[in-house]
Amino acid sequence: MKRIVLPEEDGITLLTLLKNKEKLSTRTVKTLKYRAGGLKVNGEEVTVRRVLHSGDIVELAVEDRDEDRAESVVPRKLPIKILYRDAHITVCNKPPKMPTHPSHGHLDDTLANALAFLAAAKGVPFVFRPVNRLDGDTSGIVLTANDRISAGRLFETMKSGEIKKTYIAVVCGVPEPMSGTVDAPIARADFGILMRTVSAEGREARTEYNTVAVSADGKYSLVVLRPLTGRTHQIRVHMAYIGCPLLGDFLYGERSDMIDRHALHAVRMTFPHPEDGRNITVSAPLPDDIAAVCEILFWSKE
C-alpha cells in the first residue's frame, strides 16, 4: 500500500497517520512495526515515530506473506452464497450446521474451507479474516476481510459499535413486554467451557428485541433482535434469561421436533466500507428450516 502525505498532514508522526488517518488497528500497526520492510517513507525503512512532511510517500508492507497464510485451512467445495464481494471484503450467507472456522472435529467443513476453495479456484492466496462469527447452528451473514488493512479497519468499527446486526428468531413463549432491551451482563458458566450465563460479574451485554408475530396458541413468538454488544451466545442467553429460549436450543432451552437446531438467523447487517466509509447494507433470506417453522406457526392461512 502506498499513499502520499497531504499538506494538512504535514508535521504529524507516522503513528498518528496510521491510527487516526488510516484507521489501522493496534494489531496491524504492531505487525508492520516488526516485519522487515513493513514501514517505509520515501523508500527508507522508518519507525512509527517518524515525522512526516507534505509530499512524503508512505509505503506499508501489508501484503500477505507465507507466514500469514493458514496452511491448515483445506479448500473444500461447500454450499455457501456470496451476498457481496469486492477487492476488500466478502460477505457470505452461512448455512446452518456449518462452523465459521476450523476446530477440533471440524477441519474441512467450515466457512473458512469454503472461502479457501473459492480463493484457490482463482489462484489467489487465502487468509481467513472473519469480522464477525456465528455459532455453527446459527445461519446468516458473516462479514470477512480480504486483506490486512480492511480487517484492521473493520475491527475498529466493530469495537466502536458502527457495525449494526439484525437477527430473526423463533422463541418459546411470548416476551413480556413484547418489545424492549435486555440489559444483563454475561459471564462464562462455572460448569462448562461453552455455556454462558447472566451474572453480576459478567461483561456488559445489551440486546434490543421486538416481537413481530405470536402463534395462534400463544406458545411461540417471532422476534427481531439487535445485539448492541457482542458477547458469546448473547441472544441465546438473553432470551432464555427473560423466559423465552430459542426454539430448538438444546443448551439454553430444549430440543424441538420442528427444527434440528436453534432457530436463529443473522438476517441483516449494515457497516461502513473499510476503503471509503460508505454504508453497505446486506440482507440474507430466511433459510428453509426457519421459513418452514414460520409457515406452520405464524403464516398459515388455515
Q: Name the residues annotated as catalytic.
A: 135
Q: Which of 61, 254, 225 is nearest to 147 (CA)?
A: 61
**Radius of gyration in angstroms for the set of CA atoms belonging to the chain, rounded to a whole number:** 22
Peptide bond between residue 79 and the one before it cis (omega within 30 degrees of 0) = no
Name the residue type at position 286: L
Contacts 24+ apart (CB under 8 A), 21-26: 22/149, 22/153, 23/152, 23/153, 23/156, 24/149, 24/152, 24/153, 24/156, 25/151, 25/152, 25/153, 25/155, 25/156
Residue 104 has a CB neighbour count (10 Å cut-off) of 5
Name the residue type at position 112: A
Name the residue type at position 88: H
- Give the CA angle between residues 279, 283, 286 to the nearest 5°: 165
Q: Which residues contact 296 (CB under 8 A, 6 or more apart)?
A: 258
Q: Which cell goes with 153?
A: 479497519
- Give the CA angle between residues 92, 267, 255 to the nearest 5°: 100
Q: Which of 301, 215, 202 is nearest to 263 (CA)?
A: 215
**DSSP secondary-structure letter at 13?**
B
